[in-house]
Amino acid sequence: MPGAGSACYDTGRVKICLIPLDERPATLRYPVLLGAIAGIEVVTPPPELLGYRRKPMEVRGLAAWLLEQAKRCQAAIVSCEALAHGGLVPSRISSESAAVVVGRLDVLRFAKARNPSLRILGSSVISRIANDNHAAEEPDYWSEYGRLLFAYSVVCDRDARGLAAPGELRRATEAIPEAVRRDFHGRRLRNHGVNLAALGLAAEGVFDFLAITSDDTHPFGLPAREKRWISEQVAALDRAGSVLLYPGADEAACTLLARVVQGAIPDPVRFAVVQAVPGDAGTIPPFEDVPIGDSVLRQLRAAGAAVVRRPAAGEMLLAVNTPVPGRGVFDPAQAAVDAARRGRAVRRMVARLQREQARGVPCAVADVAYANGADPVLVDALFRGADLGALRGYAGWNTAGNTLGTVIAQAICAHRATTAARERALQAFTFHRLVEDWGYQQCVRGPLREALRARTGHPEPAARGVAGAERWTEARLAPLADGIPGLGARFRIRPGSVRLPWRRTFEVDFNVEDRR
């Protein structure tokens, strides 16, 4: 792949099978939509094999499906969490033994033996430690000890690095019952074993490429320590070219799809990167453990893309709306302060983007100023001046890693949008991202949660209230979508299609259709 280690082939003849991290739109649907932009067929498991939130996928059925697809596909994108545990949330809460979950990865050896030319690209996750007393996606004891476990994890790592104060580790340890700590460490040891088994498969050549991502991480903690251990093994095995560690999780399948596309074209996409506030490139984004400048380079490497100083003909400009130091999610009370500090720099970046678009340079925008939603200052500048229909990519959702992987993948797939149908798929995906990342996450989700709280006392819908919450959301989201310059005149949310996939307000999904 040019830039990623294999001979090139026509994207129109590439068929990829996907074992997704779970059944959420970001992990299951986005790779399919991105594949349509590049002219690649991405096949996914039948619905009956998929799980739902805490309910695991049918792992035996997934393995059998993968073996069957391996006969007829050129590449496979595989989540180790799906094969080993049945999904991301099951990897945190199941009680299965290490021997059982690690053994399930053997199917990858069989798939490779069945089709030696099959390229297998894998992802494996270093488990998060959520800093919240909320057990919806964690073991039940998280509802009481979640924040204490997060603090304990940080102290364990600080102590191992010689940075903890005297008695700090003892106090953090004594705050958590021994049985909880034992279970907590046992789960981490088991899941670390899955990551090491995945690394072993890469060393054997079963994985052509492996992304080991850190889910909702922090500069200090047991996940950071496990990452260092794995990095040492990667170096010892001399696998730095085929194994990469970086912050992320939900976007990994999109990134791996982009890596396949890079190998399917004779002229792989190269990127020039411009930062809105260059001095903020050293900022560590929320829920991550490395500076944003490093994350950009690692995400580009994972996608098989090289970096250039200035974009030449056919090369991509990636405009990064850098994280706001000291912020997590967008805070309306601090909006004026943030806008005063960064507004001019953001508008200057958008003006650069406009100039590059005018001279035919393809451009994409990674909006990572805040976690969990778009930056209203950037979106306002884009709406006022940029040609949104000509954008090769936009994202501004969840973590910086989620956003970077998605927009880089879209930009790479956009390089193959050489037909009217593919260009339409590209613009529809940009529309979808703006509607979701700005319209829903920035504008509608907060009022929805407040409306639910006012009606029921809780910010999340009860089971019987999901349909009403979805109708409420669509009534407010559709006008925002209609008002997106250029794209809103071509696309709309299909009436009745807005849904809350996990029956919670965190994410939304909907179908996009042409107006004409």
Q: Which two tokens stand for residue 239?
A: 């696998």
Show the beta-strand stretches assigned E in 67-204. 75-79, 119-126
Q: What is the pLDDT of residue 152?
A: 98
DSSP alpha helices (H): ranges in 359-501?
Answer: 376-385, 400-414, 420-433, 445-456, 466-482, 487-490
Mean pLDDT over each residue of the chain, to the nearest integer: 95
Give per-residue pLDDT as tens, 386-433: 999 999 999 999 999 999 999 999 999 999 999 999 999 999 999 999
Unique residue bearing structure tokens 């999109």: 254
Q: How many residues does the chain have?
A: 516
**Residue 9: pLDDT above 50?**
no
**Residue 452: pLDDT above 90?**
yes
Short-list 493, 433, 501, CA closest to 34: 433
Contact 271, 315 (CB under 8 A): yes
**Residue 7: pLDDT above 90?**
no
348-376 mean pLDDT: 96
Identify the DSSP state of 284. Answer: P
Q: What is the pLDDT of residue 8?
A: 43
**Residue 194: pLDDT above 70?**
yes
Q: What is the pLDDT of residue 375?
A: 98
Q: What is the pLDDT of residue 12?
A: 60
pLDDT band at 119, cuts 50/70/90? very high
**Residue 491: pLDDT above 60?**
yes
Q: Would you tell me how many other CB atoms lie within 10 Å of the CB of residue 96? A: 16
155-174 mean pLDDT: 97
Contact 440, 423 (CB under 8 A): no
Contact 308, 272 (CB under 8 A): yes
Short-list 326, 272, 292, 301, CA closest to 399: 292
What three-state secondary structure class fits 70? coil
Q: What is the pLDDT of residue 5?
A: 40
Rg (CA), the chain: 22
**Cα(463)–Cα(51) distance, integer angstroms:** 18
Give per-residue pLDDT as tens, 293-331: 999 999 999 999 999 998 887 899 999 999 999 999 999
**Cα(143)–Cα(145) distance, integer angstroms:** 6
Q: Could you tell me the strand order of the sheet in which 119-126 lies? A: 41-43, 15-19, 75-79, 119-126, 209-214, 243-247
Q: What is the pLDDT of residue 422?
A: 98
- Each as own residue / partner, the long-range contacts of residues 179-188 (CB below 8 Å, 24 or more positions apart, any chain) are 180/141, 180/145, 180/149, 181/152, 183/139, 183/141, 184/139, 184/149, 187/92, 187/127, 187/139, 188/127, 188/222, 188/226
Contact 487, 476 (CB under 8 A): no
Contact 370, 327 (CB under 8 A): yes
Q: Facing residues of 273 across strands?
A: 318
Q: Would you tell me how many other CB atoms lie within 10 Å of the CB of residue 71? A: 10
165-193 mean pLDDT: 98
Provide the terminal-to-terminal Cα distance of the chain, rounded to the nearest Å. Answer: 39
Residue 269 gets the label, from left (phi > 0), alpha (psi -120 to 50) or beta, of beta
Contact 57, 82 (CB under 8 A): yes
**Residue 10: pLDDT above 70?**
no
- Counts of helices then strands in the chain (DSSP H, E): 19, 13
DSSP alpha helices (H): ranges in 161-251?
Answer: 168-174, 178-204, 222-236
Q: Which two tokens stand for residue 37?
A: 């932009």
**Cα(214)–Cα(285) distance, integer angstroms:** 13
**Cα(464)–Cα(471) distance, integer angstroms:** 13
136-158 mean pLDDT: 98
CA 183 to chain centre: 28
Q: What is the pLDDT of residue 135?
A: 96
139-156 mean pLDDT: 98
